[in-house]
Amino acid sequence: MRDVAAQAGVSAMTVSRVLKGDPRVSSGSRALVLAAVEELGYRLNETARSLRVGGSGLIGLVVTNIANPFYSRLTLGVQEVAGEHGLRVLLANTGEDTDRERELVDDLLARQVDGIVLVPAGTGQGPLALVAARGMPLVLASRPPSDIDTDCVLVDDFGGAREATARLIAAGHRRIGFLGNPPALYTGAERFRGYWAAHEEAGLEPDERLVRRGLRDPATAQKAAEELLDQPDAPTALFCTNNRLTQGAVRAVRSSARTTALAGFDNFDLADVLGIPLTIAAYDPDEVGRRAARMLIDRIRPSSDRPIPARRTVVPTNVIEYGPRHDS
Amino acid sequence: MRDVAAQAGVSAMTVSRVLKGDPRVSSGSRALVLAAVEELGYRLNETARSLRVGGSGLIGLVVTNIANPFYSRLTLGVQEVAGEHGLRVLLANTGEDTDRERELVDDLLARQVDGIVLVPAGTGQGPLALVAARGMPLVLASRPPSDIDTDCVLVDDFGGAREATARLIAAGHRRIGFLGNPPALYTGAERFRGYWAAHEEAGLEPDERLVRRGLRDPATAQKAAEELLDQPDAPTALFCTNNRLTQGAVRAVRSSARTTALAGFDNFDLADVLGIPLTIAAYDPDEVGRRAARMLIDRIRPSSDRPIPARRTVVPTNVIEYGPRHDS
DNA sequence: CTGTTAGCGCCTTCAA
DNA sequence: TTGAAGGCGCTAACAG
């Protein structure tokens, strides 16, 4: 910047003012500075600016697995809103590892991010208390706060699971298997609750022997589904708590002789073209990211100076029915 | 840091030394400092450190669309390798917009990133010349450099397309349609070249009337496929240049009465379960990210001080055949 | 409208 | 082994 100032024959202060658009600069100086900037190919050093001004213009985004389409879409939503406010996204991936989450958050703090959007890994959130304690704006996504009091964006896990299950019941199914992710996870617990509630509301009681929880990937889901379908009194339908488990179940159904109906949480590509009866509780993952970013920015740049209480917002689901293939 | 120093009864300098693991500190001072750090919950300010030391410990990753599974997996690969070297990833999304790409890259420079991995948007790379000119390490992914001379990681677009097409020919197909993304894109051009080469090597000449290029999404691909299949002399197979186009083609084939064979670039979920003949040129997107990150780090932290010439590496493809459904 | 002074938090250099 | 001085690049605050 000194070089630019020298080249333009003004002081560094004037250069600074021109660059940040301060109107109190004569158009003459402005032109001189701009010319010098151009000629020297100068760019402002954001690091130094951050140090002086405070606030890095960065927000941290911590997800469990960026390769999962849900989180990559969430990332897109966060990016979109952050970009509108001139903020950049520093991305971190925990792989569901709590220790790593702590390290990453720690590093984000050291880098002076202006706020953090985080999908909590695992279940305990003790370490995050630190973040909140330091007054760092923090929004949780997908899973609610447990040990701490902070903003969060959730999906209507309960409602979506309940309605999808209810559709199966309405279609006449009475023996509906459940393929679920670990019950210790919030989404797992809520979606199971929805499955159960739909039964109760129809005056039915689910058969516990048709319930398999703690499934983590398509392969284990496929195996569990095959076992269920292989029983003498097999379920006529299966509800799966997420897209990966649904995909495992699709394989199992496909390789069996039965025409088992499927329902699941999360939409996925080609669901329309599988040619089996499929009921999906869908929602917009981008919207989770957008809302999280908006809540975060509300705290980073408060519109009023009253303290904002911790808020919670729930992204709705809508149930889609894909029919079997209609061969024409 | 001053507070910590005061609390520990030493100078700020000693605190700094302890924190960066300088051995020339007495164990007494060290213990004092660590206790004070713990008590005050102090963390080093990376921003200030960067300013003084130079180098931010950040690498920029610029992709065209993070919601595309290819790029989210690439991101995972970059993250993985960067993490091993203590580097964090600043993520930027261009949406295939060249102007936005320029802005984003500019911002990354202003933030003093140590290097950039970039998937070029569009075709012209003029603006990127600036980056290279400033001596910023830069690795391109998926698409090669055109106007500039820099490292890149490519996929074997030509080889994969050629082999997938050759498989169709080997299976007896003689009229093979082509559904392609815009030919101005490197991948589009290379994959078309592979399609053509497979024909020539078999002594065939593709029918230009079966070629549709410039397709951008599943919907346009579906429409193009339907038109092709609706002709009197319809193709018996279709080759698609990427997963989104393949998905459109799957829909078209499904809704037609024909049993058209499909081949395509990029693997995708549930390809195994569609129940139609499907030949896929697959590769590992994570590996593209890992290699790009490694090349970048080679430049950021050179092992020798000889200048490294611009390098190019190609990630291989392997062709997978998914059969039609075997109803048992 | 413009420049000077001072300092953001850290670390390199040099002296003790 | 430790500390003091100075400056990385930038910008508030205060002159002029």
Q: What's phi and psi for B212, nearest 5 deg?
A: -125, 120
> Does pLDDT of B328 surpass 70?
no
pLDDT tier for residue A328 given thresholds of 50, 70 and 90: very low
Residue range A184-209, pLDDT digits in tens: 889 999 999 999 999 999 999 999 99
Radius of gyration of the CA atoms of chain B, in A: 26
pLDDT of residue B168: 96
Residue B52 Cβ under 7 A from any strand C atom: yes
Residue range A46-96, pLDDT digits in tens: 999 999 998 899 999 999 999 999 999 999 999 999 999 999 999 999 998
Q: What is the pTM of this model?
A: 0.93
Q: Which residue is nearest to nucleotide C7 (CA to C1')?
A: A52
Q: Do A91 and B111 touch (CB under 8 A)?
A: no
Residue A53 Cβ under 7 A from any strand D atom: yes
Distance from CA of A200 to the nearest CA of B (A): 33
Q: Which residue is nearest to nucleotide C8 (CA to C1')?
A: A52
Half-sphere exposure of A24 (CA within 13 A, CB side): 1
Residue range B291-321, pLDDT digits in tens: 999 999 999 998 887 888 999 999 999 999 9
Instruction: Calculate the angstrom distance between C1' of D5 and CA of B17.
Output: 17
Q: What is the DSSP letter of A208?
A: G
Residue B19 Cβ under 7 A from any strand D atom: no
Encoding tokens for residue B303?
A: 């092992």
Residue B51 Cβ under 7 A from any strand C atom: yes
> Does pLDDT of A325 surpass 60?
no
- Name which of B45, B133, B270 is nearest A110 (Cβ-Cβ): B45
Cβ neighbors of A62 (< 8 A, separation 6 or more) are A92, A93, A94, A101, A104, A105, A108, A116, A117, A118, A119
Question: For residues B271 and B279, what is the distance between their CA atoms, to the nearest angstrom?
Answer: 9
Q: Do A273 and B254 touch (CB under 8 A)?
A: yes
Q: What's phi and psi for B92, nearest 5 deg?
A: -135, 145
Question: For residues A222 and A204, what is the distance between their CA atoms, to the nearest angstrom?
Answer: 26
> Does pLDDT of B132 surpass 50?
yes
Number of residues written out for chain A: 328
- Name which of B65, B257, B273 is nearest A274 (Cβ-Cβ): B273
Among A244, A202, A206, CA closest to A228: A206
Identify any residues that bridge with A281 across adjacent strands, giving them in sequence order. A265, A319
- Name which of A61, A92, A247 is nearest B269 (Cβ-Cβ): A247
Residue B48 Cβ under 7 A from any strand C atom: yes
Distance from CA of B45 to the nearest CA of A (A): 5
Residue range B136-194, pLDDT digits in tens: 999 999 999 988 889 999 999 999 999 999 999 999 999 999 999 998 889 999 999 99
Average pLDDT on B60-89 reads: 96
Number of residues written out for chain B: 328
> How would you write A306-321 as a 3-class SS string?
CCCCCCEEEECCEEEE
Question: For residues B5 and B19, what is the distance between their CA atoms, to the nearest angstrom?
Answer: 12
Distance from CA of B71 to the nearest CA of A (A): 9
Cα angle value A77/A51/B92 (rounded, 5°): 25
Residue A43 Cβ under 7 A from any strand C atom: no
Do the beta carbons of residue A53 and residue B54 sit within 8 Å? no
Do the beta carbons of residue A164 and residue A176 sit within 8 Å? no
pLDDT of residue A327: 41
User: In chain B, whose CA is at the least distance from the CA of A50?
Assistant: B47
- Of the listed ranges A81-90, A116-125, B86-95, the least confidently predicted one is A116-125
Q: Do A90 and B89 touch (CB under 8 A)?
A: yes
**Sign of the dihedral through C-alpha A265, A267, A269, A271:** positive
Question: With contacts defined as CB-CB under 8 Å, which chain A residues touch B222?
Answer: none
Cα angle value A140/A144/A146 (rounded, 5°): 110
Nucleotides of strand D within 7 Å of the protein's CB atoms:
1-5, 7-13
pLDDT of residue B1: 85
Average pLDDT on B212-222 reads: 94
Question: With contacts defined as CB-CB under 8 Å, which chain A residues touch B61?
Answer: 91
Residue range A10-55, pLDDT digits in tens: 999 999 999 988 888 888 889 889 999 999 889 999 999 999 998 8
Instruction: Calculate the angstrom distance between C1' of C4 and CA of B55.
Output: 30
Among B96, B47, B49, CA closest to B216: B96
Q: Which nucleotide has its C1' atom closest to residue A32's CA?
A: C2
pLDDT of residue A316: 98
